Amino acid sequence: MNLLAENLETRRKRLRFQAWHRGTREMDLILGRFVDSCIAGLDEAELGALEILFDWPDPDLFAWIMGQAEMPPEADTPILRRIVAFHHPVGEQLPD
């Protein structure tokens, strides 16, 4: 295994752990299930975006993902949109 692949695998393992150990069970389930389903296919840039996203507080992330609050522009990223889509399949209406 080359150094880059090893580094990516280490990052994936760390992100998987962080996703399942957020501090609130709701966020563990939301982020953990998403990460488990797609982490192997995320490239280096997407891993970086996920690392940045994980710096946001759980209450903010929860509100954005559940559609309870509007995402600020600096948080409205493709990776967060993927998480929202993962938990709200096309055709499912978000709560008002």
pLDDT tens digits for 11-31? Answer: 999 999 999 999 899 999 999
Q: CA angle, 21 as apex, 70 and 56 as ends, to 5°?
A: 30
Give the pTM: 0.83
Residue 24 DSSP SS3:
coil
75, part of any domain: yes
Q: Could you say which residues of the chain have pLDDT below 70?
A: 1-6, 90-96
The DSSP secondary structure of 54-74, one letter per residue, reads: TTS-HHHHHHHHTTSSPPPTT
Output the average pLDDT for the chain: 89
Query: Residue 88 has what pLDDT?
Result: 82
pLDDT of residue 57: 95
Residue range(s) defining the domain that contains residue 44: 3-87
CATH number of the structural domain spanning residue 52: 1.10.150.250
Q: Nearest 5°: CA angle at 73, between 58 and 83?
A: 50
DSSP symbol at 76: -
